[in-house]
Amino acid sequence: MNFFFLNILFFFLFTYKSLFAEIFLSEDLSSSLSNLYSFNPQLKYEREILKSKDELLPKAFSEFRPEIRGYYQKGKIDTNSEGFNITSDGIRTETNKGVIVSQSIFDGGSSLSQIKVAKNEIFSQRSSLKNVEQEIFLDAITLYADLATENSNIKVKEKNVEVLKRQLELTKEQFEIGEVTLTDVSISEARYSLAESELMETSNIINSIKAKYFSIFGKSPVEPEIKIPTDHEKFEIEDLKLMGKNNNPKIEAILFAIKSIENEISSLKRKRLPSLKLEAEAKINQGYFRTDSEREVLSAFAKVDIPIYQSGLASSKIREAKKKLFAQKELLRLENENLIANLISSNSSHNYSLSRIKAYRKQIKSNKIYLDGLKQEFQLGERTILDLLDGEQELLQSELDLIKSYKDFFLSYYEILFFIGKLNAKDLKLNVQLFDNEENYNKVKGKWLDIIE
Distance in Å from the first CA to the final CA of the chain: 67
Asked if residue 271 has pLDDT above 70, the reply is: yes
Within-domain flag for 10: yes
Query: Could you list the residue range(s) of the whole structural domain that residue 399 is in?
Result: 4-65+108-272+315-427+436-444
Give the CATH number for residue 197.
1.20.1600.10
Same domain assignment for residues 165 and 263? yes
Same domain assignment for residues 149 and 26? yes
Same domain assignment for residues 125 and 9? yes
For the segment 94-133, what is each residue's pLDDT rounded down to a tens digit? 899 999 999 999 988 899 999 999 999 999 999 999 999 9
Q: How confident is the model at residue 330, as a pLDDT?
A: 97
Q: How confident is the model at residue 17, as a pLDDT?
A: 43
Q: Of the given ranges (34-38, 172-176, 396-400), which has the lowest mean pLDDT?
A: 172-176
For the segment 298-349, what is each residue's pLDDT rounded down to a tens digit? 999 999 999 988 888 889 999 999 999 999 999 999 999 999 999 999 999 9
CB proximity list for 113: less than 8 A, separation 6 or greater:
263, 264, 266, 267, 270
Q: How confident is the model at residue 378, as a pLDDT?
A: 78
Asked if residue 7 has pLDDT above 50, the reply is: no
Q: How confident is the model at residue 268, as a pLDDT?
A: 93
Same domain assignment for residues 58 and 29? yes
Within-domain flag for 34: yes
Length of the chain: 453
Domain boundary among 306, 324, 354: 306
Within-domain flag for 197: yes
CA 154 to centroid of chain Cα atoms: 32
Same domain assignment for residues 127 and 226? yes
C-alpha distances in Å from residue 95, one per residue of 80, 289, 297, 373: 19, 11, 13, 113
C-alpha distances in Å from residue 80, one per residue of 65, 83, 256, 294: 43, 11, 64, 19
Asked if residue 8 has pLDDT above 50, the reply is: no
Same domain assignment for residues 362 and 278? no
Within-domain flag for 450: no
The answer to whether 374 and 388 have CB atoms below 8 angstroms apart is: yes
For the segment 225-247, what is each residue's pLDDT rounded down to a tens digit? 787 666 666 788 999 999 999 99
For the segment 11-62, what is each residue's pLDDT rounded down to a tens digit? 333 334 444 555 677 788 888 899 999 999 999 999 999 999 999 999 999 8
Q: How confident is the model at residue 291, as a pLDDT?
A: 66
Domain boundary among 261, 287, 306: 306
Give the CATH number for residue 287.
2.20.200.10
Within-domain flag for 380: yes
Q: How confident is the model at residue 233, as a pLDDT?
A: 66
For the segment 356-386, what is each residue's pLDDT rounded down to a tens digit? 988 999 998 998 998 889 888 877 778 877 8
Within-domain flag for 165: yes
Number of domains into which the chain is organized: 2
Within-domain flag for 452: no
Instruction: Work out the percent of the chain whose per-residue pLDDT is above 70.
Output: 89
Three-state secondary-structure class, residue 189: helix
Domain boundary among 254, 289, 306: 306
Same domain assignment for residues 120 and 83? no
Same domain assignment for residues 177 and 239? yes
Same domain assignment for residues 209 and 327? yes
Same domain assignment for residues 81 and 142? no
Same domain assignment for residues 414 and 359? yes
Q: How confident is the model at residue 218, as a pLDDT?
A: 79
Strands 86-106 and 275-286: antiparallel
Instruction: Work out the percent of the chain whose per-residue pLDDT is above 90.
Output: 54
Same domain assignment for residues 129 and 197? yes
Asked if residue 205 has pLDDT above 70, the reply is: yes
Q: How confident is the model at residue 287 (pLDDT cuts 50, 70, 90)?
A: confident
H, E, C per residue of 311-379: CCHHHHHHHHHHHHHHHHHHHHHHHHHHHHHHHHHHHHHHHHHHHHHHHHHHHHHHHHHHHHHHHHHHH
Q: Where are the alpha helices (DSSP H) in 55-84?
A: 56-61
For the segment 62-103, what is each residue's pLDDT rounded down to a tens digit? 888 899 999 999 888 777 666 555 555 567 788 999 999 999
Within-domain flag for 453: no
Query: What global pTM score does this model have?
Result: 0.84
Q: How confident is the model at residue 213 (pLDDT cuts 50, 70, 90)?
A: confident
Q: Please spell the DSSP secondary structure of 420-432, one letter per residue.
A: TT--SHHHHT-SS
Q: How confident is the model at residue 14, as a pLDDT?
A: 33
